[in-house]
Every structure is written in structure tokens, then in C-alpha cells.
Amino acid sequence: MNLISSDTGYIFLLIFNNSQLNNFITGKMQYYNEFCTFLL
């Protein structure tokens, strides 16, 4: 159980540190922020 969770944490960090994915997430967040502002 411990081994699995540490592996998952490592994979998560690996993905999180991927700048391309970070840029994608940031872009999505900006898009949703603008969309919500438009709705309000």
C-alpha cells in the first residue's frame, strides 16, 4: 500500500512538473475564469 501511494505521488509530481501540461492547465483556468466572469 505504501509503495503504491509513493509511486502515485512520484508520477503525480512528474506530471505536475511537466511545463507543457502546466501551461495547458493554466490556459484552461484562464479560459474558465473569463467564462465565469462573462456569465456574471
pLDDT tens digits along 1-40: 455 567 777 777 777 677 777 788 888 888 888 887 776 6
**If DSSP codes are grouped into helix, strand and coil, which group holds residue 1?**
coil
Q: Give 7's contacts (C-beta < 8 A, 6+ positions apart).
A: none
**If DSSP codes are grouped into helix, strand and coil, which group holds residue 22?**
helix
Q: What is the pLDDT of residue 35?
A: 81
User: Which amino acid, one-letter code, is at 13?
Assistant: L
Q: Would the pTM of this model clear 0.85, i.e. be above it?
A: no
- Between CA 20 and CA 1 the distance in angstroms is 31
Q: Is 35 exposed, middle or buried (0-12, 13-18, 19+ CB in 10 A)?
A: exposed
